[in-house]
Amino acid sequence: MSAHIWYSIDSQVKDRASQDISRRRLLRFHVVTLQSIRKLEMCCALKPRKKHETIKSQAVRKVIKRSDGKLTGKSLTLIVQRAHRIERLLNLAEDDWRSLDVYEELTPCFFTSTINNCYNFEIFLELVKSNTTISSDDAEKRYEDWKKMNQF
């Protein structure tokens, strides 16, 4: 009986470890995908585009076409949105992945973007950065400033 209990506990520990490894890989996958999309956008900037087609839309179209229907524009957009946030938090941690790896709650879903969540994420970043909170108005302003800074 004790062997069965130990086997169950040991299996659960191993399962948690594999889940944590999977979570860490997913976070890195998002950032690597964003970096690859940026490189693809640079290549697309050198090629002619159709009228009213942006560099970003050209890059997204190429990736989706290459996936043979396995990837949608919506899922790729979600990956990019999450990756931007992961990257911002990673920048605060001075590119030290250990700072993100230590918290089990930091899953890709944590970085999912909605308008209210954008402001909450700004509040979260400020809390991580300076251990102080900011108002939702300040968070909204910082988010808008960040968006303007990162448009090209």
Structure tokens at 93: 């941690």
**What pLDDT sits at residue 132?**
77
Residue 29 confidence (pLDDT) above 70: yes
pLDDT at 10: 65
Res. 35 pLDDT band, cuts 50 70 90: very high
Q: Which residue has the higher pLDDT, 26 or 113?
A: 26
Q: Phi and psi dihedrals of 143, rounded to 5?
A: -65, -45
Per-residue pLDDT tens over the stretch 80-139: 989 999 998 898 889 999 888 888 888 888 888 665 677 777 778 877 888 777 777 888
Segment 36-89, tens digit of pLDDT: 999 988 988 888 888 888 888 888 888 888 888 888 888 888 899 899 999 988
Identify the pLDDT of residue 101. Answer: 86
**How many Cβ atoms are within 10 Å of 139's Cβ, its own excluded?**
20
Segments making up each domain of the chain, as ranges: 2-107, 114-152
Encoding tokens for residue 135?
Answer: 């108002």
The residue among 75, 37, 71 whose CA lies nearest residue 57 is: 37
- Rounded Cα distance between 114 and 116, Å, is 6
* pLDDT tens, residue by residue, 83-96: 999 998 898 889 99
Q: For the residues of 2-56, what is the DSSP string, one character each?
A: HHHHHHHHHHHHHHHHHHHHHHHHHHHHHHHHHHHHHHHHHHHHHS---TT--HH
Q: Is the pLDDT assigned to residue 32 strictly greater than 90?
A: yes
Q: Is the pLDDT of residue 26 over 60?
A: yes
Which pLDDT score, from 0 to 100, does residue 142 have?
Answer: 81
Rounded to whole angstroms, the Cα distance separating 28 from 146 reads 22
Burial code (b: 16+ CB inside 10 Å, e: under 16) for 2-21 equals eeeeeeeeeeeeeeeeeeee
